[in-house]
Amino acid sequence: MEYVRITEKDAEALKLLQIGYKREIGEEPPADGDFERLFQAISDQRILFYGCREGDRLVACCSVSPTFSTFDYQKSGVFEDFYIIPERRHQGIAGKLIRFAYEQSGVSTLTVGCADCDAEMYRSLGFGIRLGNMYAYEG
């Protein structure tokens, strides 16, 4: 297993993981326009993707969107898109991928918004500081 930064050259492999992730959480798969915007954001480094590669196959991914946080007045990151293909779960990939993404992204903290059913998983992976609730506004 090799932990890597995912770039535009990994587009097709990342598409498969994103489709699997969306399917698993009950959302519609991204459309072509969604992928175009995603790959532009990756190219512009507005979002950083990291993954775990087994041979030539990408088996896991996550993203960090850099921002600035007054939690500690430093560069922070929003952690999202966390997905490991089912046949590679429970093999230690999750914790290693999170640590790799944290170290490579250069942020001082990672924050994650998650469903109640995933809260214990994230706590067990090191997201131990509760910062209240997270809500999305769509205007």
Q: What is the CATH number of domain 2-124?
A: 3.40.630.30
pLDDT of residue 132: 81
Confidence of residue 4 (pLDDT cuts 50, 70, 90): very high
Q: Model pTM?
A: 0.90
- Starting from the edge strand earliest in sequence, which strands make up the sheet with 74-84, in order? 2-6, 48-54, 57-69, 74-84, 109-111
pLDDT of 53-103, one tens digit each? 999 999 999 999 999 988 889 999 999 999 999 999 999 999 999 999 999
Which of residues 61 and 116 earns the better pLDDT score?
61
Would you kindly state where each structural domain of the chain is located, as residue ranges?
2-124
CA nearest neighbour of 65 among 17, 101, 32: 101
Confidence of residue 139 (pLDDT cuts 50, 70, 90): confident
